[in-house]
Structure 1
Amino acid sequence: MISLTSPVRTRAHNWPAGAKLLALCGGSVALFAAQSLWVLAAAASGVLVLYALPGAVFFRHGLRRVWPLWPFVVLLVAWHLIAGIPREGALITLRMLTAVALANLVTMTTTLADMMGVVHRLLQPFERLGVNLRAIELAAAMVIRFTPVLAQKGGALAQAWRARSYRRAGWRVIVPFMVLALDDADHVAEALRARGGFEEDRNG
């Protein structure tokens, strides 16, 4: 498993995780409330500036994380062009790219431990109701950790297909990708069972 945190240390790494997540929520709401192309374009430009401020390494690292969205951008733009509503397509595309880039910026400058600390504080009132917070925190951490791993494996499958065929991979890599994901899940489940799983929480 790999971390989503940036290898480049920035000032934002020292900011409270809760404040960054709250700002992300507020920014996302503002993006979806905006109806002006100029406002959304300015917001996207501002996010690019935030990526560029820590330096070229951080900028390239951040853009590589956002790059996998390009198929969705192509589909959105093509669909709205065919439908004759290009403005709406531009609005949706700018919102999506800017919101994902902001979320990526938060994960790049926040350690997983800090993010899980925020999740723990938010869920703590539910502990009195018998909710297993450890299970929820572990599930959230695994989703964050495994997302880039699965994306990397999906890219490797697509590259392997292209090396053996002139046709696009498309749906043909879905089944092997699912097998890889299930295999990883099985290995993680075995590792959790080997370490006792949540028996300690249930018995306590």
Structure 2
Amino acid sequence: MVTLYRPGEGPWYRLPTGWKTALLLVVVLAVCLLPPTWWAAGAMAAVCVACYAVPGIGLRELVRQAWAARWIVAVTLAGQLIFLDPEHAVANAARVTTAITLAGLLTLTTPATELLDTVERAMRPLARLGLDPQRAALTLSVTLSTLPVLARLARDVREAQLARGGGRSLRHFAMPFLVMVLKHADELGDALAVRGVR
């Protein structure tokens, strides 16, 4: 879902990490404040297109990011349709899609180390309140590295399922995927414990 850094050139790559992070955060917050209407959903789509339709990125990458998040968007939309009318449901799903694709744009154009350094620097003033900036940056690092791993595990389980003639049964997919996720979590926990992280 969240794609890690890919080297490239263009305005998003040249923008300093702090400014880029702040700009995208402001855009996501502004999108969240839009009313849940059809025109707002269209405006959110236009924001995504504008952010990706620059040299060095392109709309093909936007489609790829949105496709990677399709299940999250589908579950969000289905859940919203149970309780809300279609206009509100579509607008809320568009918000989620916009947030995911803009987060993807940030990680796509920013090396993880630069992003983590920026987060750590931004959180230093909160150390007075008891927040550990290094631990917060480590949490973000683990999250960013885990999402692509989970996507790869899901793909591996699905390919193995299809190779065995298991079809596309969710029931047959869920158990092996859960076992692999728990195994990965165990290995990650052991690796962090060895490095003294509790």
CA distance in 2, matches of 1:74, 1:128: 41
CA distance in 1, matches of 2:80, 2:140: 34
Q: Which of structures 1 and 2 has the bigger CA Rg?
A: 1
CA distance in 1, matches of 2:98, 2:54: 17
Q: CA deviation at 1:4?
A: 0.5
Residue matched to 1:197: 196
CA distance in 1, matches of 2:81, 2:123: 44
Residue matched to 1:73: 73
Q: Which runs of 5+ in 2 are unaligned?
A: none
Q: Percent identity?
A: 28
For the pair 1:60 / 2:64, whether they are aligned, the reply is no
Deviations 1:108-154 (A, max 9, x none): 11121221112211222344577554333222212111211111211
Which TM-score applies when normalising by structure 1?
A: 0.77
Residue matched to 1:202: none
Deviations 1:41-69 (A, max 9, x none): 133123224323225x7543443233132
CA distance in 2, matches of 1:68, 1:93: 15
On the 8 A contact 2:40/2:91 being kept in 1, the answer is no
Q: CA deviation at 1:90?
A: 1.6
On the 8 A contact 1:47/1:102 being kept in 2, the answer is yes
Residue matched to 2:100: 100
Residue matched to 1:139: 139
On the 8 A contact 1:158/1:169 being kept in 2, the answer is no
Which TM-score applies when normalising by structure 2?
A: 0.79
| Residues paired across the two proteins, number | 196
Q: 1:26 to 1:132 in 2, by over 3 A?
A: closer
Aligned pairs for 1:78-157 within 5 A:
78=78, 85-127=85-127, 132-157=132-157
Q: 1:169 to 1:54 in 2, by over 3 A?
A: farther
Residue matched to 2:12: 12
Residue matched to 1:24: 24
Deviations 1:78-128 (A, max 9, x none): 566676821112211221212211121111111212211122112223445
For the pair 1:50 / 2:54, whether they are aligned, the reply is no
For the pair 1:39 / 2:64, whether they are aligned, the reply is no
On the 8 A contact 2:153/2:181 being kept in 1, the answer is no
CA distance in 1, matches of 2:184, 2:82: 40
On the 8 A contact 2:3/2:104 being kept in 1, the answer is no
Q: CA deviation at 1:192?
A: 4.5
CA distance in 2, matches of 1:76, 1:198: 34
- Which stretch shifts more, 123-132 or 4-13? 123-132
On the 8 A contact 2:48/2:62 being kept in 1, the answer is no
